[in-house]
Amino acid sequence: MTPLALAVLGLPFLAFLLLALAAPLRRHGRGAALVSIAAIGGSLAAALRLWLAPPAETVVRRWEWIPAEDGPLVTVGLYIDTVGLAMLVLVALVAFLVQVYSWAYLEGETPPSLGRYYTYQSLFAFSMLGLVLAPNFVQMLIFWELVGLCSYLLIGFWYDRPAAARAAVKAFWTTRLGDVGFVTGIVLLWRATGTFDFATLFGAAAAHRLPAGLSLTMFLIYLGAVGKSAQFPLHIWLPDAMEGPTPVSALIHAATMVAAGVFMVTRAFPLFAATPPVLGLIAWVGAFTALLAATMACVETDIKRVLAYSTVSQLGFMMAAAGAAAPQAAFFHLVTHGLFKALLFLAAGAVIHAVGTNDIREMGRLFYALPQTGTVFLVGTLALSGIWPLSGFFSKEAVLAAVWNAGLGVPFAVLALTALLTAAYMFRVVFLAFFGDRQAGGHPHDAPAVMAVPLWILAILTVAIGVRGAFAGEGGHSAPRWLPALSQALAAAGVGVALVTYQLRLVSPAALSRALGPLDVMARRRYGLDAVAAAVYRGLLLGLSRLIGWVDRYLVDGVVNVLSAWTLWAGDHLRRMQTGRAQDYVYGVAVGFLLLLIASQIWR
Partner 1 sequence: MGLRAYLLLAAAVFAIGLFGVTTRRNAVGILLGIELMLNAVNINFVAFARYNASVAGMVFALFTIAITVAEIAVGLAIVIAIFRVRKTVDADHLDLLKG
> Judged by CB under 8 A, which of 21, 162, 437, 583 binds partner 1?
583
Smallest separation, CB 602 to partner 1 (Å) = 20
Judged on CB neighbours under 10 Å (0-12, 13-18, 19+), 151 is: buried
Q: Which stretch binds partner 1 (CB under 8 A): 26-34, 221-229, 377-385, 579-587?
A: 579-587
Q: Which stretch binds partner 1 (CB under 8 A): 68-76, 132-140, 314-322, 582-590?
A: 582-590
> Judged by CB under 8 A, which of 485, 551, 556, 586 binds partner 1?
586
Q: Which stretch binds partner 1 (CB under 8 A): 67-75, 76-84, 477-485, 585-593?
A: 585-593
User: Counting contacts by CB under 8 A, is residue 573 touching partner 1?
Assistant: no
Q: Which stretch binds partner 1 (CB under 8 A): 150-158, 508-516, 542-550, 577-585?
A: 577-585
Strand partners, 145: none
Would you tell me how many other CB atoms lie within 10 Å of the CB of residue 162?
9
User: Counting contacts by CB under 8 A, is residue 600 touching partner 1?
Assistant: no
Smallest separation, CB 159 to partner 1 (Å) = 53
Nearer to partner 1, 550 or 593 (CB): 593
Is the distance from CB of 400 to CB of 487 less than 8 angstroms? yes
> 483-498 and 391-405 helices cross at what angle (nearest 10)?
120
Nearest-angstrom CA–CA distance, 42 and 36: 10
User: Counting contacts by CB under 8 A, is residue 596 touching partner 1?
Assistant: no
Nearer to partner 1, 476 or 571 (CB): 571
Q: Which stretch binds partner 1 (CB under 8 A): 260-268, 287-295, 454-462, 570-578?
A: 570-578
User: Counting contacts by CB under 8 A, is residue 581 touching partner 1?
Assistant: yes
Q: Which alpha helices (H) appear in 356-448, and where do they start and end?
A: 366-369, 371-385, 391-405, 409-429
DSSP letter for 211, please: P
472 φ, ψ to 5°? -75, -10
Q: Which stretch binds partner 1 (CB under 8 A): 140-148, 149-157, 443-451, 583-591?
A: 583-591
Nearest-angstrom CA–CA distance, 255 and 95: 9
Is the distance from CB of 363 to CB of 351 less than 8 angstroms? yes
* Helix, coil or strand: residue 473: coil
Nearer to partner 1, 576 or 604 (CB): 576
Nearer to partner 1, 478 or 600 (CB): 600
Strand partners, 87: none
Strand partners, 414: none
State the pairing for strand pair 59-66/74-80. antiparallel
Smallest separation, CB 586 to partner 1 (Å) = 6
User: Counting contacts by CB under 8 A, is residue 577 touching partner 1?
Assistant: yes
User: Counting contacts by CB under 8 A, is residue 567 touching partner 1?
Assistant: no
Smallest separation, CB 171 to partner 1 (Å) = 59
Nearer to partner 1, 551 or 590 (CB): 590
Nearer to partner 1, 467 or 594 (CB): 594
Nearest-angstrom CA–CA distance, 38 and 27: 18
Gyration radius of the chain's alpha carbons: 29
User: Counting contacts by CB under 8 A, is residue 575 touching partner 1?
Assistant: yes
Nearest-angstrom CA–CA distance, 293 and 279: 21
Strand partners, 74: 66
Nearest-angstrom CA–CA distance, 37 and 25: 14
DSSP letter for 79, please: E
Nearer to partner 1, 368 or 585 (CB): 585
Q: Residue 27 half-sphere exposure, CB side, CA atoms within 13 Å?
A: 4
Smallest separation, CB 22 to partner 1 (Å) = 53
* Helix, coil or strand: residue 78: strand
Strand partners, 63: 76
User: Counting contacts by CB under 8 A, is residue 207 touching partner 1?
Assistant: no
Smallest separation, CB 576 to partner 1 (Å) = 7
Nearer to partner 1, 551 or 591 (CB): 591
Nearer to partner 1, 560 or 574 (CB): 574
Distances from the Cα of 169 to the Cαs of 183, 243, 440, in angstroms?
Answer: 20, 12, 34
> Judged by CB under 8 A, which of 578, 600, 602, 603 binds partner 1?
578
> Judged by CB under 8 A, which of 582, 602, 603, 604 binds partner 1?
582
Cα dihedral 439→445→451→454 (10° resolution): 60
Nearer to partner 1, 478 or 583 (CB): 583
Would you tell me how many other CB atoms lie within 10 Å of the CB of residue 547?
10
Smallest separation, CB 591 to partner 1 (Å) = 10
Nearer to partner 1, 163 or 594 (CB): 594
Nearest-angstrom CA–CA distance, 313 and 291: 7
* Helix, coil or strand: residue 470: helix
User: Counting contacts by CB under 8 A, is residue 576 touching partner 1?
Assistant: yes
> Judged by CB under 8 A, which of 2, 535, 587, 598 binds partner 1?
587
Q: Which stretch binds partner 1 (CB under 8 A): 285-293, 336-344, 536-544, 576-584?
A: 576-584
User: Counting contacts by CB under 8 A, is residue 579 touching partner 1?
Assistant: yes
User: Counting contacts by CB under 8 A, is residue 439 touching partner 1?
Assistant: no
Judged on CB neighbours under 10 Å (0-12, 13-18, 19+), 372 is: middle
Smallest separation, CB 585 to partner 1 (Å) = 9
> Judged by CB under 8 A, which of 507, 515, 590, 599 binds partner 1?
590
Best CA proximity match to 148, nearest among 172, 115, 130? 172
Nearer to partner 1, 578 or 600 (CB): 578
Binding site for partner 1 (CB under 8 A): 575-583, 586-587, 590
